[in-house]
Structure 1
Amino acid sequence: MRKRLIVSAASALTLFLAVPASATGFQPGAAGVGDTYYPSYGNGGYDVSHYDIRLKYQPATDELEGTTTILATATQDLSRFNLDFALNVQEVRVNGWPATFATSGEQELEITPARPLAKGSQATVVVRYKGVPSAVKKYGYTAWLRTPDGAVAAGEPESAWWWFPSNDHPSDKATFDVSVQVPDGNEVISNGILTGKRSQAGWTRFSWRENKPQATYLATLAIGKFDVTTDTTPSGLPVYNAYSRDLGENADAARASVERTGELVDWLSGYFGEYPFSSIGGYVPNVPTRFALETQTRVFYSPRQFARGTNTSVVVHELAHQWYGDSVSLSRWSDIWLNEGFAAYAQYLWSEHENEGTAQELADYVYASHPADDPFWTVKPGDPGPDNQFAGAVYDRGAVALQALRNAVGDEKFFAILKGWPTERKYGNATIPEFQAYAEKVSGQKLGDLFTTWLFTASKPATGPVAGGASAAALAPGADGGKADGAVPVEPKSWKKIQEANSRHGEGR
């Protein structure tokens, strides 16, 4: 977790006024954070600590007006910096002074402050904007989903561009205040705790606060006519769920699944440790998408997740992300296994709990179901590439990798790793090599061969996730052990629900 630099008002003013506009040595911040999967995403030269987003939205026309205030600290001497944004900008101010701005590329907003920003100085950036988000497509895609009575912002790896300017990369997490004014009769749903609701002159303003660090793609917004339920978990955690009033035949199954959120988050706490945030819940809007998304504290679910009936497996998956993906976030998109492999494995644990198939049976089924020449094995969960970031192998082979780890180190050390990692790395970012190092420290074993075989080799391992551990030789990649000679094991009862749950987050990109 980043530490904010505290500078007195007088010191800050002196620092900014001491830097002339023509200062030498000041350079533009990078137009990307250097992520090889998405080179233009995020920006360099500064670190955001807080977003204050104030919006006015008209559901009938999809017109959005907004003012976002960003608190940031310069990490270099900055002459110019970028934000990621897609709507029409009307005005930008930096530390109260009007700033010039221009757009470039698909989503770059280039801002030149009246006075350059010295390294270590704090900046307050105010952006005023308006637009019709559904009319905007970037890279041929939109994460702004229109509904019959409003709209939803939910998407991975990007969704912020359509409703607030940001440093849009998980490596720069921040706290959020989101305040939205809508016509009376509508609800506004976002992350964290609802801190205020006030009506005046036919409009109602909803104010939400997420006071723990949050990646920008995990910020969500839903506007429309929802039925809302509130409760607390047995441990006292506030639960806030919402359902579109026009879900039709999926409504009952959605409620029967999502209303178990409080029970399931308490159950997961037994494996992953104390829940890291101040609230939990989910919402089901009337959208045609097929995926769910672990938007922080307030999970997004598509109605089609419940088209075949109740599906607690998808709820378990997205709640597991609150620890693995939200509290401990990836440092670069190639580390996606740290999100999806663990959330998928939580479904294996739930299957065990429900007596619908053990984690070992599920892992054996995945291994035996895919022959050696199946393209499934060409995807490396530890570095799948941007085109395969949400491929089935990242989830399924990624979960099997954890069963292999469990077998190699034994249950006691495995579950110590599973709980200790999100506790030690709470609210921060991490990489796969860092997780491997942690697992080796806790287990007292060298695990390089295991991680290489299951996460970084584009072929089927010679043996499955062998109970009781496996030698490096037995795990050696490239053997022709994948064409199953025997029958594929009986499909575990939980398998189809797990597959329904793990639909692609990046749908539509």
Structure 2
Amino acid sequence: MNRRTPAATPLALLLALALLGAGCTGGVEGTPGAAGLRDPYFPGLGNGGYDVTHYSLKLDIGPSADDKRRPADEKRPADDKRGPADGTSSPSAQPSDRPADRLRGTATITARATQDLSAFHLDLAGLDVESATVEGRPAAVNRAGKELIIRPGSAVEDRLRKGRTFTTVVRYSGSPQTITDPDGSKEGWLRTADGAVALGEPTGSMAWFPGNHHPSDKATYDIEVTVPDPLTAVSNGELISRRTEDGRTTYHWRTAEPMASYLATLAVGRFSTHQSATPDGIRLFTAVDPESEAASEEVLDGIPAVLAWSAEKFGPYPFTSAGAIVERTGDAEYALETQNRPVFPGPPDTALLVHELAHQWFGNSVTPKSWRDMWLNEGFATYAEWLWAADHDDVPVEESFDEAYEDGANWAFPPAGPPSAADISEAPVYGRGAMVVHRLRLAIDDDEAFFDLVRGWTETHRHGNASTDDFTAYVEEETGEDLTELWDDWLYGESRPPVED
């Protein structure tokens, strides 16, 4: 679960500011929205001056121009080999290895201005922008690295006043990029043997649609994806419709609850799909690569049980749909808690399923305000694994804690203070983050009160954002305790604190 990309370069930001300064005459009154939100690890990520409320994406996906000369289902030569998971082709690869190489998209972005805007930015890596409109009127478009700068004309200036809602439409196309994170892992658009999968934590979603790509700006989504038969397109939320015409099928997915853009996903390929519902009425949709189907069946059949168990621990399930996307082994490097249905890089085991489904509460519903708060996602999801092992595998939580405590990798840095963007998915964020949760449980010394506290946390910040400071303040207010020593030792401390025998 390692997912990062470098922030915009200083040169790119300077170019952006220069472009914004040019041509101000005759534009909308106000000031440009910021080119970044100064995230502690990705200062150029996200944009200021507006808050997105809804994305409507219409995507047409297919092979490259050369690929179209061959039928989509034509077999490859026997000596042909699939390229690596980062989307690069091996020397012997044929065009049909890239059936999801090209994307043509229309992004309709509904947003509310948080200041009087004269211009604003969208994050977009690569891809060619053909046009943009704001409130139906043509807008000037400039590029500076991963920054897309939109300058509306004066005719729509009233719609860009603080508090007003406006709609931007961007038409774009190209071959989506695979992004390499600071730690060397891959995200963005990952080409697979039979299609592609889009993974976005923390910045990869900018590889396939323009937006405000920071976790603090959550929105609802409609994603319509057209793919050539026999491919299937799977995304977040619920499948609203499916229609086929002239050998191409359009899938319409809707996410009605707010979602951070890094949790948006799109998987294109040949999948075995299954729809059902839990006894509580949660709609389930699973999509499994045929090569992974047999080995995944038993674990995926356990999704309703894991959701019911998790709801007892963490509160009501925060969404109306759930499920999973299982690729073949090697199509991705890690599992990711994409909203409603996590993506797995091959058949998962139960512990991994528990971890990724716990993220639906911790990370997806209660989303971090910045990437410094990632331990709130991973610490609670790891602790969910410990709780499951205690309830189902006769492994006491204390034993899981002791194992993590003795693992030197968990003490490389404090979970609330990774030293760089390359470290936000490293062991302390997971293992020591879970230790923070367990030490809190011991400090409360009352399991009923502890789980009431956890359920209250997920309810208080349901479908919102929260920071580490929000969490510590919430805990102390609810418990009436000063827990400074606990936070100093376990959350922020540089050294391994002693524990009682």
TM-score between the two structures when normalised by the length of structure 1: 0.82
Secondary structure in 2 aligned to 1:103? strand
1:322 aligns with 2:357: no
Alignment match of 1:214 (pick from 233, 255, 259): 259
The separation in 1 between residues aligned to 2:483 and 2:223, in whole angstroms, is 43
- Partner of residue 265, structure 1: 307
- Partner of residue 83, structure 2: none
- Partner of residue 362, structure 1: 400
1:182 aligns with 2:209: no
- Partner of residue 463, structure 1: 499
Shift of 1:400: 1.1
- Going from structure 1 to structure 2, the CA distance change for 1:376 and 1:161 (only over 3 Å counts) comes to same
Report if aligned partners of 1:413, 1:442 keep a CA contact under 8 Å in 2.
no
Secondary structure in 1 aligned to 2:490? helix
After TM superposition, list the pairs within 5 Å mapping 1:113-152 onto structure 2.
113-115=152-154, 116=157, 117-134=160-177, 142-152=187-197
The separation in 2 between residues aligned to 1:216 and 1:206, in whole angstroms, is 19
The separation in 2 between residues aligned to 1:233 and 1:142, in whole angstroms, is 31
After TM superposition, list the pairs within 5 Å mapping 1:45-444 onto structure 2.
45-59=49-63, 60=99, 62-86=101-125, 87-105=127-145, 107-115=146-154, 116=157, 117-134=160-177, 142-247=187-292, 251-286=293-328, 287-303=330-346, 306=347, 311-367=349-405, 369-370=406-407, 374=408, 376-385=410-419, 386-410=421-445, 411-444=447-480
Give the AA of the match of 2:413: V
The separation in 1 between residues aligned to 2:181 and 2:357, in whole angstroms, is 29
- Going from structure 1 to structure 2, the CA distance change for 1:24 and 1:167 (only over 3 Å counts) comes to closer
Give the AA of the match of 1:323: W
Q: 112-121 or 170-179, which moves further after superposition?
A: 112-121
Secondary structure in 2 aligned to 1:445? coil
The separation in 1 between residues aligned to 2:334 and 2:302, in whole angstroms, is 19
The separation in 2 between residues aligned to 1:61 and 1:225, in whole angstroms, is 12
Shift of 1:259: 2.6
RMSD, aligned α-carbons: 1.9
Report if aligned partners of 1:134, 1:146 keep a CA contact under 8 Å in 2.
no
The separation in 2 between residues aligned to 1:21 and 1:326, in whole angstroms, is 42
Secondary structure in 1 aligned to 2:322? coil
CA deviations 1:110-168 (Å, max 9, x no partner) are 11111342212211000000001147778885421111111100131122112111100
Shift of 1:412: 2.1
Unaligned runs of 5+ in 2: 1-23, 64-98
Report if aligned partners of 1:68, 1:127 keep a CA contact under 8 Å in 2.
yes
Give the AA of the match of 1:37: Y
Q: 117-126 or 133-142, which moves further after superposition?
A: 133-142
Report if aligned partners of 2:325, 2:341 keep a CA contact under 8 Å in 1.
yes
Report if aligned partners of 1:214, 1:326 keep a CA contact under 8 Å in 2.
yes
The separation in 2 between residues aligned to 1:202 and 1:25, in whole angstroms, is 48
Q: 123-132 or 350-359, which moves further after superposition?
A: 350-359
Q: 227-236 or 40-49, which moves further after superposition?
A: 227-236
The separation in 1 between residues aligned to 2:198 and 2:51, in whole angstroms, is 24
- Going from structure 1 to structure 2, the CA distance change for 1:34 and 1:234 (only over 3 Å counts) comes to same
- Going from structure 1 to structure 2, the CA distance change for 1:341 and 1:127 (only over 3 Å counts) comes to same
The separation in 2 between residues aligned to 1:300 and 1:61, in whole angstroms, is 18
Secondary structure in 1 aligned to 2:455? helix
Report if aligned partners of 2:113, 2:163 keep a CA contact under 8 Å in 1.
yes
Give the AA of the match of 1:353: D
The separation in 2 between residues aligned to 1:136 and 1:318, in whole angstroms, is 22
Percentage of matched positions with identical amino acids: 42
Shift of 1:365: 1.9
1:447 aligns with 2:487: no
